[in-house]
Structures are given as structure tokens and as C-alpha cells.
């Protein structure tokens, strides 16, 4: 069994687990996706990169977008200031989130990370 995403007009509308033969009998566009793929890297059961084939850049989810030219699944743009990395197909903020033990959230009004109170 494998995971398959149904794509309509470049948008993932559903993800199912099924046999390839059954999916081949369905109408529409169904593309295999791998839950082991994230950021164009394949991860093993231990959560570490394992050198396997990264299938379609990211695991597909309902509402994800599909770029047929790049053969890539990716999330919709979270904020207008963020850009899509065309290697990983992950969105990147204009600045890196601080790397400390504190919690931050993105504030689009100031286009920067702000400390979460609490």
C-alpha cells in the first residue's frame, strides 16, 4: 500500500492509502506521495535522513499545492513576505527565527519574529 494525492487544478483535495492497481482505476489525477519526504529529503524510520529517494519534495496534504513542472507538493504561502525555496519547496521567512529556548511567532506587520508572551 502507498499514499496517493488527488490533485485538481494544482490543489491537493485528498490523500488516500491504496494499492497502485486500484488507484489506476480511478478517474482524475492521482500522484503517489511519501510521508517519509520533507524538504526534498527522504527520512528513515528513525527520523534521520537515510539517502532514499525524496518523492515530490514533500508529503502531500489536503490543501497543498502541486507544481507539475517541478513535480513538487508544497504548502500555500503562509505570509506575503515569505519566499518559496525551489530546492526544498518549503517557505522561508525573510529572517531566521532566533535560535534560543524562547518561543517566537511571525509578525507580518513588522516582517520579523516576535517573542511570544507567556
114 and 98, same domain (yes or no): yes
94 and 65, same domain (yes or no): no
Q: Residue 106 contacts by C-beta under 8 Å, 6 or more apart in sequence? A: 78, 79, 93, 112, 113, 114
57 and 115, same domain (yes or no): no
The residue among 117, 2, 110, 100 whose CA lies nearest residue 56 is 2
16 and 72, same domain (yes or no): yes
Q: Report how far residue 32's alpha carbon sits from residue 10's, in angstroms, rounded to the nearest whole number.
A: 15
pTM above 0.75, yes or no: yes
In degrees and rounded to multiples of 5, residue 20 shows phi and psi of -55, -40
Range of the domain at 7: 1-76
96 and 72, same domain (yes or no): no
pLDDT tens-place values along the chain, 118 residues long:
999 999 999 999 999 999 999 999 999 999 999 999 999 999 999 999 999 999 999 999 999 999 999 999 999 999 999 999 999 999 999 999 999 999 999 999 999 999 998 6
Q: DSSP per residue over 7-40, as a string?
A: EETTEEEEEEEE-HHHHHTSSSEEEEE-TTEETT
Amino acid at each position: 500500500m502507498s499514499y496517493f494525492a488527488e490533485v485538481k487544478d494544482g490543489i491537493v483535495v485528498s490523500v488516500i492509502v491504496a494499492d497502485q492497481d486500484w488507484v489506476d482505476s480511478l478517474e482524475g489525477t492521482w500522484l503517489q506521495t511519501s510521508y517519509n519526504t520533507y524538504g526534498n529529503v527522504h527520512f528513515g524510520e528513525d527520523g534521520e535522513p537515510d539517502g532514499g529517494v525524496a518523492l515530490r519534495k514533500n508529503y502531500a496534504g489536503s490543501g497543498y499545492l502541486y507544481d507539475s513542472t517541478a513535480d513538487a507538493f508544497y504548502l500555500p504561502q503562509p505570509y506575503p513576505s515569505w519566499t518559496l525555496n525551489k530546492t526544498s519547496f518549503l517557505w522561508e521567512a525573510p529572517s531566521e527565527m532566533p535560535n534560543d529556548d524562547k518561543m517566537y511567532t511571525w509578525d507580518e506587520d513588522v516582517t520579523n519574529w516576535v517573542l511570544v508572551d507567556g
